Amino acid sequence: MIELRGVTKLYRTDRIETVALEDLDLTIGYGEFVAVMGPSGCGKSTLLNLMGLLDEPTRGSVAVGGRPITFGSDAALARLRNESIGFVFQSFHLVPDLTVLDNVEIPLLYRKGTASERRRTALAAIERVGLASRAHHLPSQLSGGQQQRAAVARAIVGKPRLLLADEPTGNLDSRMGDEILALLQGLNADGATVVMVTHDTRLADSAHRIVRLFDGRQVQ
Amino acid sequence: MSFATLRLAVRVLWRRKVFTAISLFGVTFTLLVLVLVSALLDGLLAPRPPESNADRTLAIVHARMVGENMRSSGPPGLGLLEPLFRDLPGDPIVSMQIQARTEAAWVDGAKHPVEIMRTDGAFWSAHDFRFLEGRPFGSDEDASGAAVAVISKYARDSLFGGAAADGRTFELDGRAFRVVGVVDDVSSLRMRSFAEAWLPLGSLPGAPDRTALIGNFTGIVIARKEADIEPLRAELAARAARIPLGQSQYTSLEVPIERQAQAIARELIGADPGDGDPVRRIRVGVIVLSLAFMLLPALNLVTLTMSRVLERAPEIGVRKAFGATRGQLVAQFVVENVLLTLLGGLLALALAPLVMAAIASSLLGIGPGLSVSVSVLLQGLAFAVVFGVLSGAWPAWRMSRLPPIEALRGRSG
């Protein structure tokens, strides 16, 4: 599904160069459920961003579905992100001006379909995360857990083949965390590849495989 | 543009009330000025009562005689207009006037400055004045030099305190003129018909010089139908070319035979007859000036839009992450700006009649000629859209180029 070869990511300021990832080789197959673990600042989120084509590696290559990615083509990248990838961001990134329903509809705005189809699909995703009663609320009217669930609904609404989740249960109590985990496992069972960054060992244990990072390198 | 984009645009503008209010004020003020300029031009050039036939009117308002080392130019004289107008084919309406100028009229020993035009009986068929009292004077009264007058409502108020004026008299150059009709006020923008009192040409003291080629007259020829205009223009030009210059030292006579709007436009910009279509020059000039006038508020709106877009960098990141292309993001922000400027445009159009009414009461004469016609309305909305695109495109384009991860972190690049 996704293949990283010799990937290095450097962040440069005027005087400082920070190595976020160094010479990383990683292959994630179709239908895998992978947990990424490691201490803060080890490059977990950077790895997720590179896999999600949100960021460009300083060196090395990224391939999705066997196709090497050219980061120069805006339209091709946009299409790939829209059709194949879903994100759950650590800090949710819900658009504050939009209701939960409108937020969840975002991925559908950039593909074919009528407004009523979009609405129906978005409502089904919202229902799936147990947020139907809050569909017309603004993010500011939701608790952290509810915002997290809205972010999950937005990530799964387009039925992506690759779901990237950065601490998807970080703001939830254990019961809701389990529900979200069950949701991700359900999507995985339906054929989606799931890559989840987590600090929670219990959650990571439920994945097929754990990738451990330390100082930008894979250690296991 | 999808309904979702439009709905988001409305929400964004509503939630950022201070930004919206400040932007709207600037946009509305700018567009209001442009709408007023459009209305002014429309009032000058478009067919509008009493000059409803303006688009079928040929005007002869200028003549030039050229000789070796000398030239003479000015309004045409009777020696030019009478042979031009005699027995024209196609039965057009022909009329001659001396443009309005301020003269002193006396009523009961009190002096009143009045804009007075001298004209012939055909003048009243050429234009469609709305008579509030009485009737126009006829060609027979003009020919006999009768001391009669048609006055405007404003002149009636001024001379007779607003009371019925039909049959009453005022004194001009020591002669008593009897009012035979009262008409609605005419805007001073209607250059071929404006006055506050219209008197027969025949009532002028002394015999007119019927030989002068340059004088103080203007002439209009109103074709019965559009198709007659060009043949009439050709006939008038041919007649002008045959007019003898006599014993004078001049060797040629130039008489522009122009459509009324062209003649007015040329008078406005002081162009020579050979300088190309003056109406087009004015319209191009207005468009260029309007764009220049819009530039500063547009730059201001660009700055405001930029800060609004910067604030929403994470949203741009989210949209990119979920598949928005640069073009779709640019379209979204441009739609928001166009919505704002269209709102400003509609506000400007709603305020324009009030401002025009204020102008009417403070700058007497211009007022009745200003109104928001369909063409002014369309121009106003076009200005609004151009303004919106101008001020929204650059910030949107710049932000759409941000890498998604930078945008998600709220960085402006």
Query: Residue B381's pLDDT is what?
Result: 79
Contacts of A76 in chain B (CB under 8 A): none
Nearest-CA distance from B296 to chain A in Å? 30
Which has the closest alpha carbon to B19: B331, B300, B387? B300
pTM of the prediction? 0.66
Task: Measure Cα distances from B195 to B117, B150, B237 in Å.
Answer: 6, 10, 29
Cα angle for residues A93, A67, B399 (degrees, 5° grid): 35
- B25 min Cα distance to partner chain A (Å): 23
**Unique residue bearing structure tokens 């004078």:** B248
Amino acid sitting at position A163: L
- Answer yes or no: are the C-beta atoms of B289 and B282 closer than 8 Å: no
| Whole-number pLDDT of residue B413 | 46
Query: CA of B345 to nearest chain A CA: how many angstroms apart?
Result: 25
The Cα–Cα gap between A172 and A175 comes to: 8
Please write the tens of the pLDDT for every residue from B76-88.
999 999 999 999 9
Asked if residues B338 and B392 have their Cβ atoms less than 8 Å apart, the reply is yes
- Can you tell me the distance from the alpha carbon of B395 to that of B388, in angstroms, rounded to the nearest whole number? 12
Q: Which of B322, B400, B401 to mutate to test the interface with A (most CBs of A within 10 A)?
A: B322
C-alpha angle A215-A181-A156 in degrees, rounded to nearest 5 = 95
pLDDT in tens, B225-268: 999 999 999 999 999 999 988 767 888 889 988 888 888 888 77
Instruction: Please list every residue in chain A whose beta carbon sits closer than 8 Å to the beta carbon of residue B8.
Output: 97-98, 102
CATH architecture type of domain A31-60+72-218? 3-Layer(aba) Sandwich (3.40)
By CB neighbour count within 10 A (0-12 exposed, 13-18 middle, 19+ buried), where does A33 fall?
A: buried
Domain boundaries, chain A: 31-60+72-218
What residue type is A47 in one-letter code? L
Structure tokens at B364: 């007497």
The pLDDT tens digits for A124-182 are: 999 988 899 999 999 999 988 889 889 999 999 999 999 999 988 877 778 878 888 88
pLDDT at position B2:
67
- Average pLDDT (A18-45) is 90
Which residues have C-beta within 8 Å of that of residue B161, sequence separation ≥ 6? none
Beta bridge partners of residue A213, listed in sequence order: A218
Q: Which residue of A has its CA nearest to B1?
A: A109
Mean pLDDT of A104-117: 90
d(CA B191, CA B267): 10
Q: In what order do the strands lie in the sheet with B70-74?
A: B70-74, B63-67, B250-254
| Residues of chain A found within 8 Å of residue B320, distances taken between Cβ atoms | 54, 78, 81
What does the block give as tokens for B215?
A: 């004088």
Collapsing DSSP states into helix, strand and coil, what is residue B359? helix
